[in-house]
Amino acid sequence: MVKEDEVNKKIRVEETVPTDYLPEDLIVDLLSRLPVKSLLRFRCVCKLWYALITDPAFVKMHLSRSLVSSSNLSIIFRSLGGPNLNFSEFRVSEFHSYSDDLDASLQQAVVELNHPFKPPRTCYVVGSCNGLLCVYLRNSEEEILMLWNPSTRRHQKLSLPSKEYPNLDYIVYGFGHDSTTDDYKIVRIVKCLGALDSVVNVFSHSTNTWRRIGHMPFCLNYPHFPMLLANSALHWFANREPKPNDISSFIVSFDLQDEEYRELPLPDFHFDFVKNYVGMKLGVLGGQLCVLCPYPGFLLDVWVMKDYGVRGSWEKQFSIQQPCGMRHNLYFLRPMCYSKNGEVIFQMDINTLVLYDPRTGRARNLRIHGVPDKFYTEFYVGSLVPLNGKDGTEQEKRKKIVPLIAEDGTEQAKRKKKNMKQRG
């Protein structure tokens, strides 16, 4: 009995250690700087830390700090398989993650992730926002959308609105966050052959419902690419119809806050043919909207909109000219993000990542051990944003959880639970 009392006393002492020597404000500040992987482990330290780390205010604080400091970033590799290897549809077999804050000088191996997307399914990532990935999945029996947090291994299956449309031309999705209402939204655009307008539906995560909004009076130029998220708006190239002579592309945005369409000006390229060139691409670098403009003769300009929505704020960030270490056509370049040392990470094709240094104009392959043979990439920020399903299974309804109990059901957690019952 004495020995059991000593064990219980030791447990109580261990539970109070984190708060005995440090002020709570300092603990909060320190914890908010840590990666998600560490925070998930630290939930089991004591009741106070569990309550703190799962508190919505702390979740927002941790996410905000990561976004401002560009920390806790990872690249996720989606394996491509099957006969169809284009960029809009493929079958997923493995998900891998590469981290270390995207410091390209540290060539650590990828980590295979447990994920809820079990093959055989057609799969592609609609978008990434605040650590959540919106994933479209389809097999012969059903098609679904799913939100997934790779850091916490949580997911949520979403419903889809009816899509019984005659003469379907295309369906395209976009995903983002409305900061004014703290709501995650999914936009679906459906275009039928011969129709001048598109049908638009918006999904609200807070209400778990779809609703139809006004038609979009534009035609997407590249409907096989998901819409790009920047400045709380979704973007894509479009053109007007039915004016046959007006084929110049422009940028259309859909503001997730007021749900209005707006036209954004293109950069002043100084070349008329550029505005009609099919090789032009949209991207996001450092959280800012950018346009990639490839020219004949192996030259590519990267323009960034410094002041969102202002025509004069387009700035040519850098130009890439071959030969610079890139052996492939510059048309296939897709910007991902900046590394810690200021290099830009591009995906070149389905099996190559490239690091480009705008200061020297040189490029080199980014070699990461363990990546799939063929892949497509997204980058995301590690976050604690909660979802209601656990990877591999749907979350079961549970009674109130004792914070000391670990989710993995470790023996140590079970012993602590037993000791708590004995003390009661």
pLDDT in tens, 65-75: 999 887 888 88
Q: Is 392 within a domain?
A: no
In the structure encoding, which two tokens stand for residue 204, read together? 């609200």
Compute and round to an integer the Cα radius of gyration of the chain: 24
Say if residue 52 is in the same domain as residue 92.
no
The 10s digit of each residue's pLDDT in 86-111 is 333 333 345 566 665 555 544 567 77
The answer on pLDDT for 316 being more than 60 is yes
Provide the H-helix boundaries in 127-252.
none
**331: containing domain:** 70-381
Say if residue 44 is in the same domain as residue 63.
yes
What is the predicted pLDDT for the residue at 308?
Answer: 93
What is the predicted pLDDT for the residue at 181?
Answer: 94
Say if residue 128 is in the same domain as residue 89.
yes
Say if residue 148 is in the same domain as residue 264.
yes
The structure's pTM equals 0.79
Nearest 10 degrees: Cα torsion 387, 392, 394, 400: -70
Contact 156, 177 (CB under 8 A): no
Say if residue 49 is in the same domain as residue 104.
no
Q: Which stretch, 192-196, 294-298, 351-355, has highest mean pLDDT?
A: 351-355
What is the predicted pLDDT for the residue at 245?
Answer: 44
What is the predicted pLDDT for the residue at 126?
Answer: 92
Say if residue 273 is in the same domain as residue 406.
no
Say if residue 189 is in the same domain as residue 59.
no
Q: Maximum distance among all alpha carbons in the chain?
A: 91
CA separation for the pair 222, 367 (Å, rounded):
30
What is the predicted pLDDT for the residue at 402?
Answer: 30
What is the predicted pLDDT for the residue at 79?
Answer: 78
Instruction: Count structural domains, the chain.
Output: 2
The answer on pLDDT for 392 being more than 70 is no
Say if residue 236 is in the same domain as residue 193.
yes
The larger pLDDT score, comparing residue 369 to residue 304, is at 304
- Among 159, 155, 139, which residue's Cα sits nearest to residue 147? 155
What is the predicted pLDDT for the residue at 269?
Answer: 74
Say if residue 22 is in the same domain as residue 137.
no
Query: What separation in angstroms does the CA of 388 have from each of 138, 153, 336, 395?
Result: 21, 10, 29, 6
The answer on pLDDT for 27 being more than 80 is yes
What is the predicted pLDDT for the residue at 412?
Answer: 43
Write the DSSP assignment of 350-391 as a string of letters.
TTEEEEEETTTTEEEE---TT--SSEEEEEEE------SEET
CA separation for the pair 134, 209 (Å, rounded):
16
Q: What is the average per-residue pLDDT within 245-266?
A: 82
CB atoms within 10 A of CB 60: 16
